[in-house]
Each structure stands twice: as structure tokens, then as C-alpha cells.
Homo-oligomer: A and B are copies of this chain.
Amino acid sequence: MSENKEIITTELSELGEFGLINKLTKDLKLINKQSIKGVGDDAAVLNYNSEQIVVTTDLLLEGVHFNLAYTPLMHLGYKAVTVNISDIAAMNAKPRQILVSFAVSNRFGLEAIEELYKGIHIACKDYGVDLVGGDTSSSVKGLFISITAIGGVEKENVVYRSGANVKDILCVTGDLGSAYMGLQLLERENKIYKSDPLIQPDLSGYDYLLQRQLRPQARVDIINYFKENGIVPTSMIDISDGLSSEAIHLSINSDKGCRIFEDKIPIADQTIELANEFGLEPLICALNGGEDYELLFSVKPSDFQKIKSNPDITAIGYFTEKEEGMNLEVSNGKIIPLNSQGWNAFLNP
């Protein structure tokens, strides 16, 4: 499982920074008309004359955000882009450009960085974004990745976390908790492998969970769907820290309360199955698992008709007056506050 770890046949120091950048970006073609000038000057030049620009940045650090023992570098590159594109989508914007910076120790050779960039390039193609800049450096230890993503959206269509109104329907895309269970599976198998390298990891039957953890998709498709169907959500956020945390963000930023129904939360069969095997509550995985990169958003009740036929969108609750608090209604009708300490303890054992 640790085949990525030391594949050095070409030392980065042989190439130098400019040789490396040239190697990694020489086949780049700019695809967005807003990308005027990409890699190769002091800064990239962009043109967004009729739109608002949205811009976001995220760090990924080895040993904190990923473990190279079970994360293929190509998937890591793809995921690093996804995490940022997901933030652009959460503003209801179309992603257009990224800047990629990384620092690596001398443990990594050219081939490792090329694997990372292979994933980055595939993600650029999938999301239709241009790689227009970045920075490279050596590090004392480990791999650091910092990506900035830029997107555009018509002024009137920007969606903040703060626009939810009472009675707006709270919706979520895809299903929740699966990326978290994928991580649990990878960590279990990695522990077994470390204790006895002759035991091959048993990951069969859980392809979906692994894909959700290793190669998540940003929901740009949903943003396109909104546009095609004339829907502008009243509030939106992407789910990186779990449903509970993100619903609290929307509620606090919108100065509202919310109610979520346990039995409406979409959880995949594989997630339920593996959670049971691990002795975990699937609901807790969905509420606090994180890394789903699905979108959590609210729409006006009058817009709900337009989206309820989309099989990728599930209504899970609604916004209330602030005084009613942020609550989960579980199957037996009991109401549990969303910011319950129980969930936090689970997250930070």
C-alpha cells in the first residue's frame, strides 16, 4: 500500500524550478476566454468583465489531510483541485482558473510530482478550469499543497451562506457519510498492513466508499442544473466538515434556526453496511463525517417544485425562526440540538 512513498528516478534538483514548471505545464492550453495569460509571468492575467469573481484557497498537508500510505498521488492531485472547486460551486459560480503551489522534500522525485500533476490535469479537464499559476519549493519534510481557485458568476446570482429565510427548504446533494467510511476502511487496512505487510488489504465490495474518499467530485453539475432551471438558492455551503457543522453555518450566517429530519438524510447502502461492521451509527457518520463535498443549500418553497424531481437532490428539512434553534428530529420524534456535545466528542475523541 505504500508504493508511492519513494519513487525517485529523477531528482528534482537536477531539473531546477524552471525546468520542473516547464515539464509540468508545457502541454497546458487555456480553455476559458477569461484566461488571458497563464503560467510564465509574475502573475496570471484574467478578464471577467461582466461577472463577479469568486476566489478561494485551501491547504492540504501530508500527515494532516492525507496519508500517502494509502492515497495514490494522482488521486491526491485530483482531490486537491476538487476541494477548491467545491468552494467555488458553493457560491453558485462557474470555476474557471486554479493556481497550484506545492513544496516537497527530497523524498519525492520528478515521477511522484508528475503523478500528482496527472491528477491535477484530469481535474482541470473534468471541471473545465485553466491552471494559470503557482509556486514550487522544497520542504524540510513532507508534501504541502496549496491551491487557489477562481470562478465567475453574474452579480445577481451569487449565493452566500447568509440568505436563508424562514420556511426555505434545506436540501442536500448526493449522499452523506460515505467519504468518512471510505477513510475508516483505508485506515483499518493500513493498520493491518503495517502490522503484517504480507496481509493484502481487503477493500473489495466498497469501491463506492473508496472513490468517495480518494476521488470526490465537486458538484459543478448541480450549479449547471440550477442555471438551466432558473433556480438561485437562497443560501449554500459545501459539506467539508459534515452536515451538522455546515447546517449550523448556514443557520448562524442567515440568523435563522433549522430543523433537519433524520429519516430524510441520504445515506448510501454501503455506508450503512460498513458503519454497522465498524460498530458506528450511520447517522453520526452523515452528520459529522466530513469530506463529502456535496452541496447543502436552501430554496424558497416556491422553487421547490423545480428541483424535487432531481434524483441527486434531497430535501432534508427547513429553516425556522432563530428562536427555535438548530435541531435534528430523529425517527422516534425526539428533537436533538444539532450542536450537541455528543457529536463534537465523536469528532475529537
Contact = CB atoms under 8 A, between A and B. Distances in A.
Interface of A: 36-37, 40-50, 52-59, 61-65, 86-88, 90-91, 93, 97, 99, 101, 103, 132-142, 144, 146, 148-151, 155, 158, 160-162, 236-238, 253
Most buried by B among A54, A93, A146: A146
Contacts of A148: 55, 57, 99, 148
Contact of A47 (B52, B151, B161): B52
A347 to B, nearest CB: 11
A151 B43 contact: yes
A65 B137 contact: yes
Nearest to A138: B64
B44 A146 contact: no
A149 B148 CA distance: 10
Given A99-B148, A146-B146, A148-B148, A54 B45 contact: yes
A148 B149 CA distance: 10
B56 A133 contact: yes
A87 B162 CA distance: 34
Contact of A56 (B44, B57, B137, B141): B44
Contact of A146 (B101, B133, B138, B140): B101
B160 A57 contact: no
15 contacts: A41-B160, A41-B162, A42-B87, A42-B91, A43-B87, A44-B55, A45-B91, A46-B55, A48-B49, A58-B101, A59-B103, A59-B137, A61-B144, A139-B144, A148-B148
A50 B53 contact: no
Nearest to A240: B42
A48 B48 CA distance: 7
A142 B141 CA distance: 9
A139 B61 contact: yes
A86 B42 CA distance: 9
Nearest to A148: B148
A55 B97 CA distance: 10
Most buried by B among A42, A49, A87, A237: A42
A138 B59 CA distance: 10
Contacts of A253: 40-41
A64 B139 contact: yes
Nearest to A89: B42
A135 B148 CA distance: 10
B61 A140 contact: yes
A253 to B, nearest CB: 8
B155 A47 contact: yes
